[in-house]
Amino acid sequence: MPLRYIILALAFLVLSCNQPGSQVSTIASGRLAAADSGQQSTTFTSNAGPITSINTGKTTPAQLVAFARTLTGITYKYGSVNPQEGFDCSGFITYTFNHFNIAVPRSSKDFTNVKEPTELKHAKPGDLILFTGTDSTQKVVGHMGIIVNAGDSISFIHATSGKQYGVTETPLNAYYQGRYLKTIRVFPQNH
């Protein structure tokens, strides 16, 4: 296995959606060996620096949400983009978007730079919702999900290390409202 793949695989293991203080961010390109599975997973990201916009091509928000929901129940695994092993929050986002060949940042923190923020009250299915890590006093992105229901009863799908411990849909309850940072519009159809 080429050294760059080993280095990238190791970098993914230190990424975290819920670990406060994690400063590692990896933007890479190509095939990465999925840890312990012997299988390869494809991660489409950019090697041109931080991603500031996401090109969704012809994919619709409804297609993305429908596919994300097929992953419900996959367990949580820190640093993983492999559905056979589990996902962390950004691994779930990466896998979901990559299913449609859409390049996205690999770590939740790297979504901070993605443009097109929108007010939560204007959120639509397919928008991304960003939260702090479990320490809500640290205003750094540490968790994220995809909005699946908007309006008066916002809910999002995400991979959580909490009591649900895996991919699940969660209402935007008081706990997540306290950790909320911003909503990102990635689909031009949602404008």
Q: What is the pLDDT of residues 81-117, one digit of tens each?
A: 999 999 999 999 999 999 999 999 999 999 998 989 9
Contact by Cβ (8 Å): 110, 94: no
d(CA 167, CA 157): 7
CATH number, domain of 79, equals 3.90.1720.10
Distances (CA, A) of 169 to 28, 39, 146, 159, 178: 29, 28, 9, 9, 18
Average pLDDT value over all residues in the chain: 81
Any domain includes 53: no
d(CA 176, CA 132): 9
Any domain includes 130: yes
Burial of 187 (0-12, 13-18, 19+ CB in 10 A): buried
In terms of residue numbers, what domain contains 123?
3-48+59-190
Residues of the chain with pLDDT > 70, as a percent, come to: 74
Q: What is the DSSP string of 116-167?
A: -EE-GGG--TT-EEEEE-S-TTS-SEEEEEEEEE-TTS-EEEEEESSTT-EE
Provide the token pair at 115. Answer: 């443009």
Any domain includes 184: yes
Is the pLDDT higher at 176 or at 41? 176
Is the pLDDT higher at 37 or at 154? 154
Q: Which residues contact 2 (CB under 8 A, 6 or more apart)?
A: none
Please state the domain count of the chain: 1
Per-residue pLDDT, 44: 55
Any domain includes 164: yes
Any domain includes 54: no
The Cα angle at residue 131 between residues 126 and 137, in degrees rounded to 5: 170
Per-residue pLDDT, 87: 97
Per-residue pLDDT, 49: 63
Residue with tokens 């689909």: 187
* DSSP tag of 108: G
**b/e for 8-36, b at 16 or more Cβ within 10 A?**
bbebbeebbbbbeebeebbbbeeebbbbe
Is the pLDDT higher at 15 or at 83? 83
Any domain includes 124: yes
Any domain includes 80: yes
d(CA 179, CA 133): 7
Q: What is the pLDDT of residues 107-154, one digit of tens each?
A: 999 999 898 999 999 999 999 999 999 999 999 999 999 999 999 999
Q: pLDDT grade, residue 4 (50/70/90)?
A: very low
pTM: 0.77
